[in-house]
Amino acid sequence: MPGGRQATNVMFGYLEGVERKDAESYARAFGRRCLKTSEACWYSVEPLWSGYLYEIHEGGPGFSFLPALAKEIDANPGGVALVPSGRRVFEVTVRNGRPVGALLSESRSREVQSRMAVVQPADRIGDRPFGLIVPAWAPQGHVRFHAILTSRRMKRLTPAVPLQLTAGAVAFLTGFALLLGGGITYFWSPHRIASARNFDINRLPHRQWETVVSAITASSYAAKLEFKDGKWTIETLDEPEPRR
């Protein structure tokens, strides 16, 4: 098998009679359900006939086989497409008018890998992995391979920063900015509440009770307690004479 950084798992499938957005939604859901982790995973879709091919990679550089694969399947619907999938090979064929795929056994994968090891496509880019199309018909004793090269960049199965985390961070920063702005406005506002001043608790009205009691006699009562000019004054009146 050619060297280079490859995906540890590659899968293909086909959806018939759907729109692109539906195919992408299905590919994302299928990948998250089947793969151990959705981090560093990729997906892509490509129109073919009356539906869409979809492709999912676990790991790897994230370049899609689909543009070349769809073109080759359309031109050679009776052929067999072979694409590396980690230590094994994924096979795509056309049955009953629609593409179907399956992961080859380890022994069959080794046979295919030994053939692929001697193939070096002329227009291959760097060490990117490649696949092969084996046409349905070739002269006896000859096998003609068509290389399937990766090209278009795939989409991440899960964004590098989850959307929920991004939304939470934006909400937090927005709230913090509002709080900070409100604090600054309050600090510089001329109408803000005056800060508390130091005061003597002994000057409170209820603390004058003993003074009031000492100011009255058996024949007088406290008529008025008033704070004026920084001090308390007590006005007392004599008790009225009882009527006979």
Distance CA 166, CA 29 (A): 21
Burial class (CB in 10 A: 0-12, 13-18, 19+), 114: exposed
Residue in the structure block whose two tokens are 């981090």: 39
Give the global pTM. 0.64
Per-residue pLDDT, 73: 95
Q: Which of 44, 4, 2, 50 is nearest to 24 (CA)?
A: 44
Q: Which of 61, 76, 95 is nearest to 84 (CA)?
A: 61
Instruction: With beta carbons less than 8 A apart as the criterion, state whether 149 and 123 touch.
Output: yes
Rg (CA), the chain: 42
User: In the sheet where 41-48 sits, what is the strand order?
Assistant: 9-16, 51-58, 41-48, 155-156
Distance CA 119, CA 113 (A): 10
The stretches of 161-204 forming alpha helices (DSSP H) are 163-188
Instruction: With beta carbons less than 8 A apart as the criterion, state whether 214 and 233 touch.
Output: no
Q: Which of 87, 98, 9 is nearest to 51 (CA)?
A: 98
Per-residue pLDDT, 145: 83
Q: What is the residue-level pLDDT of the chain in tens, covering all 244 positions?
A: 333 478 999 999 999 999 999 999 999 999 999 887 777 899 999 999 999 999 999 999 999 999 999 999 999 999 999 999 999 999 999 999 999 999 999 999 999 999 888 888 888 888 899 999 998 876 665 667 889 999 999 999 986 555 555 556 566 667 766 776 666 666 666 655 555 556 677 777 777 777 877 877 877 777 777 877 778 787 887 777 766 5
Per-residue pLDDT, 197: 58
Please give the single-letter amino acid code of residue 80.
Answer: V
Per-residue pLDDT, 190: 61
Per-residue pLDDT, 2: 38
